[in-house]
Structure 1
Amino acid sequence: MGRIFILFLIHLSMFLLGMLMMKSGLYVLSGDRLKRWVLHFTKTPVQSFLTGTIATALLQSSSAMMVLTVGLVATGYLTFQQSIGIILGSNIGSTITTELIALDVGTSIIPLLLIGAFLVFFVRHRIGYSIGMTLVGLSCLFFAMEGFSALAKPLSTTPFVHEWLQQTNRSYIAGILVGTVLTAIIQSSAATIGIAMGFLSERLLALPAGIAILLGANIGTCVTALLASIGASREAKFTAYTHLWLNIAGVGIFSLFIAPFAKIVSLFAYSPDVQLAHASVLFNVICSVVALPFIRWIEWWIYFVHGINNRS
């Protein structure tokens, strides 16, 4: 049984490596232009929202986008209010990853990996190298997802995992807690969702339980921004707090409607893992779009909750 857990850790490491390579490749491709875009296109809440969405989709990591945003607020390049729009947009941009890992690429993984490796090792141009890194990283994600699915049944026979699956299928709160803690530990909501997809594909986890884990992952991913804000300015801390509170509010509301929400997303796809990817998109789009008109109220509430009566 120890061999199964070792294989699981290997596939998890491959997934995280793939995420890192994709992020590195896309960041090198955009260069300093990404930071300039963030600074330039954040004049209004809608601009901040769209910039957060696009920039996070390019970085393939809401955590990386939040670290960048906290840093820009800490240095005074962005205001706290501008960061709220970026936060809302980043939650949507991060769903691109979940849609990617739900794709069924079949035998295309090997050609994808070979093309990416060729570009990395034999093409010296920055653009070619960046595209190669992105393709290799994407291949690692697909390999890891196949591994998660293949290991789902063997893992489910172990007493600990079996009990975890049973408890998560029975209790949405347990699923939310699992998603939160696991994401906080491995620092990747996409990896947590990917693991849930593996169990969903083998019908070992019910869709509502998978959605509960997804909701928890959205809270767990806030840990990165909170860590980045340690020792930073007051406004930078408020940015991290806002990321956390917005996700907690969204999860709190959606946790009351997990069962009907699962029925709705099941109408859009047959495969449970694709259904979970669509659930991630719908959850984040609904929460962000609903909150967008209330950015000034959110700003005021954060100041109020954290004991700041004025902005001086």
Structure 2
Amino acid sequence: MNHIFSLFAIYIALFLFGMTVMRQGLLHLQEKKMSNWLKNAVDSPFKSLIMGTAVTAVLQSSSAVMIMTVGLVAAGIIPFRHSIGIILGANIGTVVTLEIIAFDLTWLIFPLLIIGIPLLFTRSQLLFCVGCLLFGFSSILIAIHGFETLAYPLSSLSLIYDWLLSTNESKLLAVSVGIIMSAIIQSSSAVTAIAMSFMNEEFLNLPSGIAIMLGANIGTCMTAWLASVGGSKESKLTAYAHIWLNLLGVILFFPFIHYFAVWINYIATVPSVQLAHSAMIFNLLSSFIILAFIDKFAKFIQWIHR
């Protein structure tokens, strides 16, 4: 049993490692362009949303974008009100990763490694960054495949099996699991990818997978909150806004999980693709609903955390 949990921890570490390597490659490639793009996203909330979506889709990490946003707000470069749009965009952009890994791309692992590893030892910055992208993405694919191979051994353990049954029966428990796992791992994408693997092996049903995904959205807020500790008042408001945005979205969405799952069944049949589409639709809907009331939401955050 210990070796199964050890492998599971290794695959989680490999997934996060792959995300980090990809992000570093992109950051070296773009240098300071990401921060400059965020600085320019101050004209309107909608422009901030588009910018947050684009930067997060490129960096493949909403946490990294949130840390940058908190820093820019703390420096007084971006006003708190416009940081809300970036947060909404980050929530949308982060599910791009899920849409990609939802499909079976294991056949790409060896070609990516064969091409990517030699590029990591080149002197050219461009080729090195490309190598980081290829090597990092292959690491993510290996981790996803590892999650799937461990799904059956893990579920054969009575403790895990009982836990899976509990989450299938209690959506509130599933949300709690998503919050805790995401707060510990610091990656909502990794938590949702694990849920995808168990769904593909038919140990988790779609409503439970959606509930875990919703919880992961809340748990990942821990990163921005930690980044705001010791910062300015506005940077703390940005972190609080991130928490409230995800919390309100989950509260509004939670009662309709079963109805939403029925609808998702009509647009996709593969479990992992169903969960990826669920994450995309949820984040799009919740972000555009909040965008319509962004001024009132900003005043609400300033009032409740005055």
TM over 0.5: yes
Letter matched to residue 108 of structure 2: S
Structure 2's unaligned 5+ residue stretches are none
State the superposition RMSD in angstroms: 0.9
**Mapping 1:1-312, distance limit 5 Å:** 1-121=1-121, 123-306=122-305, 308=306
Structure 1's unaligned 5+ residue stretches are none
* Alpha-carbon distance in 2 for matches of 1:164, 1:68: 37
* Alpha-carbon distance in 2 for matches of 1:187, 1:85: 22
Percent identity between matched residues is: 47
Deviations 1:59-114 (A, max 9, x none): 11001100100000011111101101100111000011111221211322100121
Q: CA deviation at 1:149?
A: 0.5
Moved more, 124-133 or 140-149: 124-133
The answer (yes or no) to whether the contact 1:172–1:209 under 8 Å persists in 2 is yes
**Over 4 Å off, 4+ runs:** none
Letter matched to residue 275 of structure 2: L
Deviations 1:157-199 (A, max 9, x none): 1122112101100000000000000000010101101111110
* Alpha-carbon distance in 1 for matches of 2:3, 2:53: 40
* Alpha-carbon distance in 2 for matches of 1:117, 1:105: 18
Q: CA deviation at 1:251?
A: 0.5
Letter matched to residue 252 of structure 1: I
TM-score by length of 1: 0.96
Letter matched to residue 31 of structure 2: G
Letter matched to residue 204 of structure 1: F
* Alpha-carbon distance in 2 for matches of 1:42, 1:103: 36
Letter matched to residue 253 of structure 2: F
Q: CA deviation at 1:254?
A: 0.9
* Alpha-carbon distance in 1 for matches of 2:161, 2:35: 45
* Alpha-carbon distance in 1 for matches of 2:54, 2:265: 27
Q: The residue matched to 1:42 in structure 2 has which SS?
A: coil
Equivalent residues, number: 306
* Alpha-carbon distance in 2 for matches of 1:41, 1:84: 11
